[in-house]
Structure 1
Amino acid sequence: MNSTLAGFGVLSLALVGLTACAEESASGGALTVDAGDSSCKVSATKLDAGPLTFKVTNNGSKVTEFYVYAEGDRIMGEVENIGPGLSRDLVVDLPKGTYEGACKPGMVGDGVRETLTVTGEPAKKLSDSQELKAAATSYERYVGAQAKALIDKTNEFVAAVKAGKTDEAKTLFPVARTYWERIEPVAEVFGDLDPLTDGRETDAKAEGRDFTGWHRIEKQLWVEGNTQGMGKYADDLLSNIKKVVAQSEKQPLTALQLAQGSKGLLDEVATGKITGEEDEFSHTDLWDFKANIEGSQAAIAALRPALEKQDPELVTLLDQRFKELDTELDQYQKDDGSWTFYDDLTKPQIKKLSDAVAALSEPISKVAAVVAASS
């Protein structure tokens, strides 16, 4: 996945900068976030409970991210990969409570943090909508099926690694990761579990932590051509995946989180897979690419009744753009179900894939606002 976790918004938030911040309250409408290279200023820090939209503008020179954390650094909402001069919207639904907000210039570290206070009760909770309740339940079933397969295949992968079966482990690596990538939005909610499981080497170095998880083992398999010293990493990988699955059962995603996650999964493709930098040792990026798209489609499918009720034209456009992206991508799948290695693609081929992702990303970015209006 990307350098730090993409998350889903379940809460509305505001951030403050390194210096003094606004103390006025927000009771509705859009809030603005002015993100700089060493600051993060929000138009309000005291928030009323309920759905809100945060417009995050990067006025600095570094790519930035905007997070909100609950206790234990559980990620409640996030927008990532906001380039200099660009803006991104985050639609979130925040219950009363105390949280922390953080801007992350350069997309590393703990970010600039401030306590956020949310009070009151929303006039109507998003969960009151029967369509949205049904969407969350539908997606929960999808996650359950994928999570079971994820644990099963990761067990097989770990067993191969620990037995020193390098070729078998290489074969199982992209297969097991497929189930992870389909439901990665679930993992991204739970603090450090996602980077420990799916973080890249450059991110681990930048954050001063050990390089662990999928990609640590990937490097050993493809660069060194063996599994030496990987037993502990393999055990930790399986343990962390089981923790993600267990916690997801206790805290299933809301409909609004699904909306944010469907966009987040496309962002994974646009900023990681499309560059070839995520599976940089194995070049199995297209396995992940397809899985992210399938996960996004599953989220939209769960939300479909609510979306059709509010904006049927958007649903039609989403169907069209998903089909176009699938057509562009599926030509690289082989008869045995495997995929072309990413470093075998030409620049024009990658450009066409990138254009198809961008074409879908625009309408899918509107889904969260439609969901918020569905209450």
Structure 2
Amino acid sequence: MSLAERLVRLPDPRRRRGVRHPFVAVLLIAASAVAAGARSYAAIGQWARSAPQQTLARLGARLLTSLNVRIAPSGSTIRRIVSTVCPGGLADLMGEAPTGAPAVAVDGKSARGSRTDTALAAHLLSAVTATGRVVSQLRVPDKTNEISTFTALLAPFDLTGTVVTADALHTQREHAKWLVEVKKAHYLLVVKCNQPNLHAAVRALPWQEVTARRYDRGRGHGRRETRSVRTLTVTGLGLDFPHVVQAVKILRHRTNVKSGKVTRQIVYAITDMTAREASPQFIGRIARSQWGIEAVHHVRDTTFAEDASQIRTGYGPENMATLRNLAINRLREHGHTSIAAGLREMSYEPFTRPLDLLGVAP
């Protein structure tokens, strides 16, 4: 199903009276402009004004039949629609279905530029596959935290057999029960001092006796890293957490290539998977997918300048983030490991390549 066919499912937030521009066309124009490198409503509007007739025709822009001319929506029209369209529905329709994904990582990020004197910055909770593609995202309601949004984010998707990873904030008993009993999924949850009793119990396990371990080495981002993953079956050891079967200890040594500085970090985690289902090698690979979600957030900050964005009103912050996620997903799908390089390639032919990337029919 094409992107346009999926977007038809979204309700148009505008009143019928006075509507001039097709709803789906406006969203496709915004998505195409962002895939071409646009970072703001003004940039999207400028892209739309500059688009040639053949591009507007592909996107389904308004047609003046008397003149046989396509008319691009104004920047204010684009802003009005993007800031009022249902953010959850847009994120689900533009996201990557997790069907068959071995793991989905959950983590949150604040759009710092959306903060005002009277309102907090928009905080967005995202789900990302192990390949770095965003499944969906939801804005965390003000005066709450990510815990309240966790189940709502993942509820629409079939997670049978998928390993859901999350940081220590989501190491909650109810989350674990819901994942295993309702969604038929597995969990790998980090354990830190925000759960002092559980953290102390995991830390006190006989790790020195563990023989099931895995070593990995890697290099990138100006550092060398060595990881040691140990797993221990804890059934019968009195670890009080729903469905827990194994505990995990990950030791990371990082060396800064330039300065030579060495840092050491220990991360504990728990999972409902047995030793047969999840070896130390598998656990290490899944754990890295959780850290990989930070790479998506980093791309949105550095390549799309999300933290510097002054978009604040309505659903604008989360819907613009969804458009950025869509561009990242499609670039990765087409083999671009560097999103910045992929956007540069789109910019060389800004009115054709982004449309091809999004699968807009010629």
TM-score normalised by L of structure 1: 0.22
Instruction: Point out the structure with the larger strand share.
Output: 2
Higher helix share: 1
The answer to which structure, 1 or 2, has the higher relative contact order (CA under 8 A, 6+ apart) is: 2
Larger Rg: 2
Give TM-score, length-normalised by structure 2: 0.23
